[in-house]
Amino acid sequence: MDEEVLNQQIRAFLKRTGITAQREIEAAVRARLEDGRLKGNERLPASMTLRVEGVELEVTIDGEIALE
């Protein structure tokens, strides 16, 4: 195994997932603000589950997204 290749591949995957997740969250929040389901001052519980097949990895990361 090439450690450098592994590191680069993990970073590329995380960058891709991070950008996609941010876009999806922003779009969902904007839609809920527009339709009145959110006021704009909420704190939204959030979680993300990471699974990697082949190494039996499953990790859930919990957090919160504050809108102000």
pLDDT digits (tens, 9 = 90+) for 8-47: 999 999 999 999 999 999 999 999 999 999 999 999 999 9
How many angstroms separate the first and last alpha carbons of the chain? 45
Range of the domain at 45: 3-66
pLDDT in tens, 41-65: 999 999 999 999 999 999 999 999 9
| pTM confidence score | 0.89
Q: Which helix (H) or strand (E) holds 30?
A: helix 3-34
pLDDT of residue 4: 98
Indicate the number of domains in the chain: 1
* 40-64 as b/e: b if 16+ CB within 10 A: eebeeeeeeeeeeeeeeeeeeeeee
CB atoms within 10 A of CB 30: 11
